[in-house]
Amino acid sequence: MQSGIAIKFFVELQKISRKFVTFTTVDQSNKRNENMNNSRDLVKRVKAGEEAAYAELVNLYSDRIYNLALRILRRNDEAADVLQETFIKVFEKIDTFDGRSDFFTWIYRIATNLSLMKMRKNKRTVLTDEDLEAQFDRPDSAEIQEWRSLPLQNLLTEEFRRHLDRAVDSLSEIYRSVFVLRDLENLSIKETSNILGITETNVKVRLKRARMFLREQLADYMSEQVKES
The CB-of-76 to another protein minimum distance in angstroms stands at: 8
Q: CB nearer to another protein: give 52 or 134.
A: 52
Whichever of 97 and 160 has its CB closer to another protein, that residue is 160
**Three-class SS of 55-122:** HHHHHHHHHHHHHHHHHHHCCHHHHHHHHHHHHHHHHHHHHHCCCCCCHHHHHHHHHHHHHHHHHHHH
Which long-range contacts (C-beta less than 8 Å, at least 24 apart) are formed by 98-103? 99/40, 99/43, 101/194, 102/36, 102/39, 103/36, 103/39, 103/40, 103/43
Report the first-to-last Cα separation within the chain, whole angstroms: 25
Q: Considering beta carbons, is residue 38 or 67 the nearer one to another protein?
A: 67
Q: How far is the CB of 116 from another protein (least distance, A)?
A: 18
Looking at the Cβ atoms of 47 and 124, the one nearer to another protein is 47
Cβ of residue 145: shortest distance to another protein, in angstroms?
7
Least distance between another protein and beta carbon 149 (Å): 10
CA-based nearest residue to 136, from 21, 22, 213: 213
Beta carbon nearer to another protein, 3 or 101: 3
Q: Which is nearer to another protein, 12 or 34 (CB)?
A: 12
CB of 91 to another protein, least distance (A): 5
Residues that bind another protein (CB under 8 A): 1-3, 5-7, 9-10, 13-14, 17, 19-25, 49, 51, 54-55, 58, 62-63, 66-67, 70-71, 76, 80, 83-84, 87-88, 91-92, 144-148, 152, 155-156, 160-161, 164, 168, 179, 183-184, 204, 211-212, 214-215, 218-219, 222
* Region for 30 from its dihedrals, namely left if φ exceeds 0, alpha if ψ lies in -120 to 50, beta otherwise: alpha
- CB-CB contact of 71 with 180 (8 Å): yes
Min separation Cβ 27 and another protein, Å: 14
Number of Cβ within 10 Å of residue 106's Cβ equals 22
Angle between helices 129-136 and 200-228 (to 10 degrees): 40
